[in-house]
Amino acid sequence: MKLTTLLASAALALGLAGGAMAQDKTKVGFVYVGPVGDGGWTYEHDQGRLAVEAEFGDQVETVFVENVAEGPDSERVMTQMALDGADLIFTTSFGYMDPTNNVAAKFPDVKFEHATGYKRLHPNVSTYSARFYEGRAIQGHIAGNMTKSNIIGYIGSFPIPEVIRGINSAYVHAKKVNPDVEFKIIWVYTWFDPAKEADAAKTLIDQGADVVLQHTDSTAPQAAAQEAGGVVTFGQASDMGQYAPFPRVSSIIDDWAPYYIARTRAVMEGTWESQDTWDGIGAGMVGIGEITDAVPADVREEALALKAALADGSYHAFTGPLNKQDGSPFLADGETADDGTLAGMNFYVEGIEGDIPQ
Amino acid sequence: MDLSAINPILLIAAMIAAATPILLAAIGELVVERAGVLNLGVEGMMITGAVCGFIIAVNTGSPTVGFIAAAVGGAVLSLLFAFLTQVALANQVASGLALTLFGLGLSSLMGQSYVGIKPPRAEATPLGPLAEIPIIGPILFGHDLMVYLGLGIVAATWAVLKFTRMGLVLRAVGENHDAAHALGYKVKRIRTLAILFGGACAGLGGAYISLIRVPQWTEGMTAGVGWIALALVVFASWKPWRVLLGAYLFGGITQLQLNLQGAGVAIPVEYLAMSPYIVTIIVLVILSADKSRAPGSLGRTFHASG
């Protein structure tokens, strides 16, 4: 009898100690769609993870799984992370949207943060994204000025609002400075496949494009442009500075570190709440990589002025008058697009040729 | 729609380049399977070849040395598979899958300090006046050496399998390893050599991606080409020229669909994106309506006591 009580209390004590140990460290999990060495999208998320470690030191433990396919596989990975005691899980690709919500339903005590999505079906799911389209506006401005063939190639990943917004924003601002500009868009249906991205870039260049914008994660299009010579590119998601000063003349850099640190702190302090964050250049979530000397000085100045205006909110990347592709009005003169419209954008603006795959 | 934007000469040249990595990996696997071994590790050997070739090419400044290193790298990794399946008599399917996972991990480890570095450029083969011929010149004679080497390997494989004693022995081992053993042929030695050849070819294919097609090193850059090569061998009914046809079809339609998209053709992109897979499968299935079948001993473990 005494022995049983002793054992039971010992077990209880151990259990409590174990619980206390687990609470000591906040465990943060990251699910990546590509390898951390992709030099683009996943690389920047991993930089954010490292920033969390640097900020909190021994108080946190981070884990990550890379190359997780969008779909059922990702659900398995998230479940495993939650079972392993993660307190906070960042799922960093659009295709993890439903899996994140499914797993969140099963683990109400674990906080989930889904990047670039819009579904928050449970109180333990937040979404966050960056206003990449602000950076696209600057790219469009530079691209429109620098193209000589007036053909700008665009490598699209998946036809989702985030990518379509980028195409529209770049087109609007390229057209503004160069009315003859034409966009050629190729959808590769992958976020990361260097060979396919390189093929798409080469195809666009073969078809006359002398500026190639990409919404995929690897640096392969940069290499293809360099090989072809005389073709302008922009770093995507990460600086891709190894291709500067030419072909890479500028870049959009995602800076997730401040957000990841803030959210981890919120979990530690128990102040975490479901929310939707959508920050741009102003908040520092979207950075513009150095505009190199390959860009004429006046274009550079204009681009920087555009960046400043986007940052302080005096200019919105989608400001009317703008029509949709079919000619129907989108924004009246001076009107700006609201976030709801932007979040679900599934149409091209007037002037872009071709259909969005449905 | 603006089809005039597509330059047929550049398109065909791009097709040939896109098909080469698949072709190299598939012809190597064809020899392995004709010897009765199913090696599912093609993807792992390709990516290992890609990183070995890249590292050596960057350090020596010579793409040629890089390609040799890639072949060696692929072959060394396949030696592991040979040891597991021929000596330790492990299950071939499991060993092959393990080889792919191992190759992917090993290559990212080896390539860590090579991300973002540019490899030396592989020059087009100097074929002199041939490349100057209008239209045919840029299509056929403007490529790097590996394209011609790939074609050469296909022709040689076909000739060896069909006309030589060596090819006959290899096929005998693949069809019925017990009978071949009874006749006194060294089944394991022959299979190990075939596996090494397959590894070297896969390594070359991988290096073609990292040194010529992309050209840079990124983790996981082969992105499934090895699996396509594996499927191609089956659909080509283990025949070298059909492998060539399949690889060119696949590479060609991949390029064509990108070009059609760029030209704004009004075919839904989803259909274009799946077209390389579908067309290649349909054509090869129709071709394989004859009575060709898999080698009799494919995937079976051989033990001399059996």
* Residue of A39, A184, A193 with shortest CB distance to B262: A184
SS3 A249: strand
Distance CA A231, CA A249 (A): 10
> Would you state the structure tokens that stand for residue A118, as one six-digit string?
């819009």
- The CA-atom distances, in angstroms, between B191 and each of A68, A339, B188, B302 are 35, 63, 5, 10
Same domain, A249 and A262: no
Sorted by sequence, the CB contacts under 8 Å of residue B219 that are 6+ apart come out as A35, A36, A37, A38, B107, B108, B111, B115
pLDDT in tens, A57-85: 999 999 999 888 888 889 999 999 999 99
**Same domain flag for A206 and A339:** yes
Euclidean distance between CA atoms A313 and A280, whole angstroms:
10
Same domain, A80 and A194: no
Q: Would an 8 Å CB–CB cutoff place B209 in contact with chain A?
A: yes
Q: Say if residue A71 is in the same domain as residue A193.
A: no
At A140-151, the pLDDT tens digits run: 999 999 999 999
Coil, strand or helix at B60: helix
| In a shared domain, residues A116 and A172 | no
Residue A91 sits in the same domain as residue A198? no
pLDDT tops 80 at residue B134: no
| The CA-based dihedral angle spanning residues A8, A9, A14, A17, taken in that order and rounded to the nearest 10 degrees | 150
Nearest CA in chain A to B223: A193
Residue A10 resides in a domain: no
- Residue A196 belongs to some domain of the structure: yes
Mean pLDDT of B129-148: 80
Residue B3's pLDDT is 67
A46 and A138, same domain (yes or no): no
What residue type is assigned to position A94 of the chain? F
- Note whether A159 and A191 are within 8 A (CB): no
- What is the pLDDT at residue A16? 44
- Which of B21, B118, B255 has its CB closest to that of A203? B255
- pTM equals 0.79
Can you tell me whether residue A225 is helix, strand or coil?
helix
Q: Classify residue B296 by its DSSP letter.
A: T
> Which of A33, A64, A207, A227 best tests the B interface by mutation, with the highest count of B CBs <10 A?
A207
Residues of chain A with confidence (pLDDT) below 70: 1-23
Does residue B4 carry a pLDDT above 60? Answer: yes
E strands in chain A: 26-31, 60-65, 88-91, 111-115, 125-130, 151-156, 182-187, 211-214, 232-235, 248-254, 276-279, 286-289, 322-323, 329-331
> Could you list the residue range(s) of the whole structural domain that residue A184 is in?
132-255+285-343
Q: Which value, in Å, is the radius of gyration of the alpha carbons in chain B? A: 20
pLDDT confidence of residue B279: 84
H or E, element range at B159: helix B145-163
Does A189 share its domain with A289? yes
In this predicted model, which residue has the larger pLDDT, B278 or B44? B44
- Provide, as residue numbers in chain B, all residues whose Cβ is less than 8 Å from the Cβ of A208: 5
Domain count, chain A: 2
pLDDT tens column, B107-122: 989 988 887 777 888 7
Instruction: State how far the Cα of B209 lies from the Cα of A62, in Å rounded to an integer.
Output: 34
Residue A237, domain member (yes or no): yes
pLDDT, one tens digit per residue, over A88-100 is 999 999 999 999 9
Query: Least CB-CB distance to A187: which of B218, B259, B261?
Result: B261
A2 in a structural domain: no
3-class SS shares of chain A: helix, strand, coil, % to 5? 45, 20, 35
Radius of gyration of chain A (CA): 23
CATH class of the domain comprising B3-115+145-287: mainly alpha
B255–A contact, CB cutoff 8 A: yes
DSSP annotation string for A288-314: EEPP-TTS-HHHHHHHHHHHHHHHHTS
Q: Which CATH number is A185's domain given?
A: 3.40.50.2300
**Are A81 and A227 in the same domain?**
no
Mean of all residue pLDDT scores within chain B: 88
The whole-angstrom distance between A170's CA and the closest CA on chain B is 17
Tell me the C-alpha distance between A355 and A352, whole Å: 9
Domains in chain B: boundaries: 3-115+145-287
Same domain, A92 and A199: no
Contact B264 A184 (CB under 8 A): yes
Q: A111 and A208: one domain? A: no
What span, in angstroms and rounded, lies between the C-alpha atoms of A177 and B213? 34
Question: Which residues make Cβ contacts (< 8 Å) with residue B297, sequence separation at least 6?
Answer: B36, B173, B174, B175, B176, B177
Q: Is the ipTM of this complex over 0.85?
A: no
Tens digit of pLDDT for each residue in B258-302? 888 877 776 777 787 788 888 888 887 887 777 678 888 898 888
CB contact under 8 A, B223 and A193: yes
Which residue among B112, B219, B258 sits closest to A200, beta carbon to beta carbon? B258
Same domain, A236 and A267: no
> ω into residue A247 within 30 of 0, thus cis?
yes
| Per-residue tokens: A226 | 């360099």
Per-residue pLDDT at B1 exceeds 70: no
**Contacts made by residues B274-282, CB under 8 angstroms, sequence distance 24+:** B276/B249, B276/B250, B276/B251, B277/B250, B279/B249, B279/B253, B280/B232, B280/B235, B280/B246, B280/B249, B280/B250, B280/B253, B281/B235
